[in-house]
Structure 1
Amino acid sequence: MSEKNEEKRRFHRIFYHADAQLVSAKGVAQSCRIIDLSLRGCLLELAEPLAGIGDQPYQLKFELSAEAAIRMEIVATHVQGNQAGFRCAHIDIDSISLLRRLVELNLGDSELLERELSALGNFS
């Protein structure tokens, strides 16, 4: 990644490899694998390349445990082969709480997390 992109990045990615499900607005579901996550989006590996980039919303669902799952509405930002990057368009309070804790545990720095959460509030 170039220095320019690094400077623009406001949110640290965590490498969280997990199986997930991507559901299109038309209800078509496909299995995928999370490559990394941030409070602002994710990078996914798909079984088949994404048809294109548009404003079409998708829903990403993945389980942290039998009792805890994260769901977020996402929109594709870039596609390269079978990998696609997405930005988070909407996430409910329960899911953001779980994602926040997951990021905090992986960053190991609650002060850094607080700065990212503040940036998230100012980013819209």
Structure 2
Amino acid sequence: MDVEASQAKQNSAGAGEHQTEMTWAQAAAWVWKHDGGKELPADIDAGQRIEAAAAELGFDVQHEPDEQLLILFRPDEETHSFYGKDHMAGGLRFLRSELAYVAAMHPDTLDDWSDTGLKALCLLAGEKL
């Protein structure tokens, strides 16, 4: 991850939500440890989950459910599009790979992490990507 990505993540942090400081390696380890957890809470749908996971890593989201389209982007930097019936799974797969990549490249870089965003990156019980 570069400075721009770290700044994008910091700018997108949830206002008012408790933030925990961890390194990227610690955050990735936390996510992998909590994979296979419960189903989504009743008050969170798949779109909200992707939005929370994307925001945690500094991405904005455009979601067109009727067109089975998900776009994750950092303005003026990068855009990733996912299409078809598995567009949400594709987006989550990408976000998890981004977390793994940054954790491998910059394991000791500290950042602030939200509980909601980290949980959104975890695989749910029985979920396969």
Q: What TM-score range do you get, normalising by the shorter chain?
A: under 0.3
Scaled by the length of structure 1, what TM-score is found? Answer: 0.28
Higher relative helix content: 2
Q: Flag the structure with higher strand content.
A: 1
Q: TM-score, normalization: structure 2? A: 0.27
